[in-house]
Amino acid sequence: MENPRPSPDELLARVKEEERRAGQGRLRLFFGFAPGVGKTYSMLEAARVKKVEGVDVVAGVVETHGRAETERLLEGLEALPRKQIDYRSVVLREFDLDAALMRHPALILIDELAHANAPDCRHPKRWQDVEELLQAGIDVYSTLNVQHLESLNDVVAQITGIAVRETVSDSVLDRADELELVDLPPEELLKRLREGKVYVPDQAARAIEKFFRKGNLIALRELSLRRVADRVAGQMHVYRREQAIRKTWPAAERLLTCISPSPFAVRLVRAARRMAESLHAEWFVLYVETPAFANLPQEAQDRASETLRLAGQLGAQTVKVSGTNTRDEILNFAREHNITKILVGKPLRRRLRDVVFGSVVDKLIWNCGDIDIYVITGEGEKNQFTARQRSPGTQFPGRGYLLAVAGVAACTILNALLHTHFELTNLVMIYLLCVVAIAALLGRGPAILASCLSVALFDFLFVPPFYTLAVADSQYTVTLAVMLTVAVLVSHLTVMVRQQAENARKQERRTNALYEMSRRLAASRSLDEVLEVAVQQMNHVFEGQVTIFLPDGNGNLEFRAGDPSAEAEQRRLGVATWVFEHGKEAGLGTDTLPGARGIYLPLRTSQKVLGIVRLEPAMPSRVLDPERLAFLEAFTSQIALGIERAGFSQEVYAGENPRGIPGHLRGSREPVLRERGLRNPCRDAPREPEGGLRAD
């Protein structure tokens, strides 16, 4: 029976979020895909409705762009006077934040959220003014176009050929209490543009030629619709989690594929990719690492890692979890992520355990509830898989079983020496101790064998009649049954605890490694120290040769730290240059230049790629596991931030470009300074107000 109550952790998180939001204003964003779709008009209509309801509404800053219908909606609304700023003989009219805080209305209208303020304003960005208003408990209505989102900046530039310089952090959009999509067909928007309802005629002609092409508008419209859909999906996920709703809501198709180390898993992933594409569904690939899978040969573990990498290349979200029950882990993941369909592979052969207890597929079918289960056959790979299992090179893992037999034999000899001095129950304890030790050291299979052998030898040697498996006294039948049950159960629990402890140790090692990296990078004062720390930590954690390339003053990559290996340096620079230009990983285990001996990853911040790190692992199969790759990317993010911080610090405090700072780092923190309301002491001249396309 499902528990309808949220967990204590979820309740605590909800209480903390409510406390954080208490006393703050609410933000309602009118979101569109381009100027002219009617965001300002919709905002004013909603404000007039609030005015009729008796809400104290003030227009802080509203850009009508001379549109008569928009100006009519402003009639009857109180408008705050603009703050005038003299800048290079030009008078700029900006939003007066102090006047708004002093007036303190219940609702204020702030148009063009992405606008960059004049240099002498308190905040460099208008969205920061809005944050202060919300902190003061004032509700805000504002407008935003999709091209101004920071995460989509490079995507918009690639589509339209125009770099939008005024951007807003995605966290502002996520923080909005209400997000209202203002949409308009591209044909209607182009018609409005030609009629002069968006820009004046001269500006409209240039806009149609450069930005307002129909293809651009269709692409931007898709981006805005997807962004709003993602937010709605996130809201539904939060609501289901808060209300502890485990039942699947099939609002949109979400596909889960469960794989194992079998070669058939590749075919399963490809089938899932085709199904997800036909359904236009988000899809996941899940690998459950049970104690049995963790003890598989290295070849099987490498095969599972390769399958996960293939799934990631095909567009899936790959997830690896550890657990003792495959069925429970799959169903828990499916319900947490609102999965509607699960794809599993048909077992290649029917084992005795599957006949008695049921296979994973059988258990999923009977326990999936309202989730659809699809079983994909693998007959094409069956013969190959069977032949590989039976090949002469495949060794049966019998060492553990032999040690289990030896351990039981040793306990039997000890009991033979002690049985004349101790009760039979004490002899049983010796056997149980042996089973627990074997389970802790050798795993489940040898432990079960030891359990069965212990019961058989105890009955054969120490229970009358001796030297036969028959039992004269019925009480010994109960003793033997309980002994076998306890031995099997203890061995199973011991293996579970050992696996959980190993998973905890693995996670702890990774957390400690990231903490140590961030601590040492924070203590580094120069760029050379940052690079030295990065190389040392990566060599230690990933067990390979690490090389870091940074661009010189001309933008050309050069070796800066690590193992130079001079004779191959030029060839390595070719791969590194491609990664630097495209901002994507390449080399070993990727789709680009997979023949390279190392993997190349960009050192990327939110603004640009600062350099390249190359890792040539001693054991590629371990590093190329998707979980380890994600860990490697976390390391490169820490290194990139350290490099950016080191370059910025040296430039600020030296007042010039010291030797050793790459040219692409100079001034790279200028936007960060501006967003914090600071001036760069190395640049005395004020900058021009940022331009770019503005919201309507």
Higher pLDDT, 128 or 352: 128
| Region of poorest pLDDT, from 195-204, 564-573, 654-663 | 654-663
| Region of poorest pLDDT, from 565-579, 604-618, 676-690 | 676-690
| Region of poorest pLDDT, from 176-185, 234-243, 508-517, 602-611 | 234-243
Q: For the chain, what's the residue count?
A: 696
CATH of 19-242, one of 2.60.40.60, 3.40.50.300, 3.40.190.10, 3.90.550.10: 3.40.50.300
| Torsion, Cα of 620, 626, 632, 637 (10° steps) | 150
Given this model, what pLDDT does residue 383 score?
A: 43
Q: What average pLDDT score do residues 658-664 get?
A: 46
Given this model, what pLDDT does residue 250 score?
A: 61
Please report, for the chain, the start and end positions of each structural domain, with discontinuous segments joined by +.
19-242, 254-390, 399-498, 524-672
pLDDT tens profile 383-397:
444 434 443 333 445
Say if residues 37 and 183 touch (Cβ distance below 8 Å): yes
How high does pLDDT run on average in the chain? 77
- Are 19-242 and 524-672 the same fold in CATH? no
Q: What average pLDDT score do residues 325-347 get?
A: 86
For residue 140, pLDDT over 80 is answered with yes
Tokens standing for residue 141: 């209505």
Is domain 254-390 given the CATH code 3.40.50.620 in the classification? yes
For residue 676, pLDDT over 80 is answered with no
* End-to-end C-alpha distance for the chain, whole angstroms: 53
pLDDT band at 120 (very low <50, low <70, confident <90, very high): confident
pLDDT tens profile 244-279:
666 666 667 889 999 888 888 888 998 898 888 888
> What is d(CA 308, CA 265) in angstroms, rounded to the nearest whole number?
9
Higher pLDDT, 206 or 331: 331
Percentage of residues in the chain having pLDDT higher than 90: 13
> What is d(CA 469, CA 456) in angstroms, rounded to the nearest whole number?
7
Q: 424-432: long-range contacts (C-beta < 8 A, 24 or more apart)?
A: 424/462, 424/463, 424/479, 425/479, 427/458, 427/462, 428/458, 428/479, 428/483, 431/455, 431/458, 431/483, 431/487, 432/483, 432/486, 432/487, 432/490
Q: What's the CA angle centered on 551, arms 548 and 555, to 5 degrees? A: 160
pLDDT band at 648 (very low <50, low <70, confident <90, very high): low
Count CA atoms within 13 Å of residue 505 on its CB side. 6
Given this model, what pLDDT does residue 138 score?
A: 93
For residue 44, pLDDT over 80 is answered with yes
Q: What average pLDDT score do residues 163-178 get?
A: 85
> What is d(CA 502, CA 692) in angstroms, rounded to the nearest whole number?
54
Given this model, what pLDDT does residue 16 score?
A: 64
CATH T-level topology, domain 524-672: Beta-Lactamase (3.30.450)
Say if residues 372 and 342 touch (Cβ distance below 8 Å): yes
